[in-house]
Chains A and B, each alone.
Chain A
């Protein structure tokens, strides 16, 4: 059975992610150990909280390099919420120019705050519409409602990294993809059957690679 390592980013939702991954039948383990992350078959990177705080935690734990190496080697990788935003270069939340709060810079672009006038955070169920044929959205091609809770959204520089979009005042990027690297702004672990389907799709990507 495939085993996914859930990166311990000190986020409050780690256990929820663990429970949802287990519910899909995938093996899972939570770890913040750089060695285990380096040797994992696949990784899930959950994150909630503030961009600067979590970016600093990851750096402090020495996880930047192992995460970047795992992604570069083509291992299936799923970033969730802040775990997706951290794949970019930085965020308005942490001050774009603040190097101590830089993202992993695997995908070019930054995260921005929703424009003034919209109720923020964007909390609740919204429709994610896949814009490419992505294996992450198998069975969800027509779009599905997922649970969101965030004030910032990722804006990749290159459209080719956009996997799904969602409307909230504007059309924002709710999923990204680059080969085996995936990121979702919503919380599949809290998105009922649609969320479990997406996690299960990720499990299939992991299994197919072996």
Chain B
């Protein structure tokens, strides 16, 4: 049975791991290669590097981080942040990334998803969606539950006017292999994922959805994977500051009856 994935997310700026609350207040959380190795040895199923380096000139540092990580860490690695052309995708994939995550550039030019999928395969193409709840129950165009979400670009700074559900369906049709869905309202709050958003998106596409933003307790992760319908959960704050370990998470999810990859994986290295 397919295991539910636990994916630590490392926000990387100028080659260092940082994590903020509601997209601001960045705090230093360590060396990316070291953190990646640590999470892998703990039983992380995958890793995401989100490059939030502000300047274009310094952006190439992520290639080096990816290459060094891939020398020592043998689990799937996704890289996102500032990826805007197939050549950069290729460079990252050749450096050892397994998937690239597109966000703002795909919103400006949706064909980028199609071109990337044709060249590297859909399994390489993750589309990251930053979603913000729009209030206004009862207005025209709102779903029955009264919930609607708008896609934001530029790291959550710019409203696009695009509806989240329309956009994830379009991304899937263009060849996206996975959706990385972040609730901007919940991100960094530790109050739990936006389950309505998750359920709406997982109900709209057949490709796997990775839930992101808001996890503060083990119960939150369980809810995202069950009620929310997510295939995987992205976790940052609760891991980086040591609230829970990957093992704590997997032990809990196993006890709640969800399939996970066991964390006693090092036994395979006895030879």
What is the interface size of chain A, counting residues whose CB is below 8 A from a CB of the partner?
41
Whether a CB of chain A sits under 8 angstroms from the CB of B173 is no
Contact A124 B2 (CB under 8 A): yes
Determine the distance from Cα of A127 to Cα of B271 in the docked complex, in whole angstroms: 21
Residues of B within 8 A of A191 (CB): 74-75
Collect the chain A residues with CB atoms within 8 Å of residue B96's CB: 15-16, 19
Size category of the binding interface on chain B? 35 or more
CB of B265 within 8 Å of the partner chain? yes
With both chains docked as a complex, state the minimum distance between the C-beta of A189 and any C-beta of chain B, in angstroms: 6
Would you call A115 an interface residue if the criterion is a C-beta within 8 Å of the partner chain's C-beta atoms? no
Any chain B CB within 8 A of the CB of A94?
A: no
Measured between beta carbons, the chain B residues less than 8 angstroms from A200 are: 271
Question: Given contacts A15-B96, A124-B231, A168-B2, is CB(A193)–CB(B269) below 8 Å?
Answer: yes
Give a binary string over A12-32; 1 marks a CB under 8 Å from any B CB, 0 the rest.
111110011001000000000
Chain A stretch 92-151: residues in CB contact (< 8 A) with chain B: 119-127, 139-140, 144-145, 147, 149-151
Known contacts: A125-B261, A147-B76, A168-B2. The answer to whether A119 contacts B268 by CB under 8 A is no
**Residue B111 lies at the interface, judged by CB distance under 8 Å to chain A:** no
* Chain A stretch 2-19: residues in CB contact (< 8 A) with chain B: 12-16, 19
Asked whether B1 lies within 8 Å of A193 as measured between CB atoms, the reply is no
Per-residue contact bits, chain B 198-217, to A (CB 8 Å; 1 contact, 0 not): 00000000111000000000
Residue of A123, A126, A196 touching B268 (CB-CB under 8 A):
A196
Tell me if A192 and B121 are in contact (CB < 8 A): no
**Cβ of B40 under 8 Å from chain A:** yes
Closest to B94 in A: A15
Taking a contact as CB atoms under 8 Å apart, the answer to whether B3 and A49 are in contact is: no
Residues of B within 8 A of A (CB): 1-5, 40, 45, 70-72, 74-76, 90, 93-96, 98, 120-124, 177-178, 206-208, 231-232, 261-262, 265-271
Could you list 14 examples of A-B contacts with CB < 8 Å?
A12-B121, A15-B70, A20-B74, A119-B207, A121-B208, A122-B2, A123-B178, A123-B231, A125-B5, A139-B268, A139-B271, A149-B123, A193-B267, A193-B269
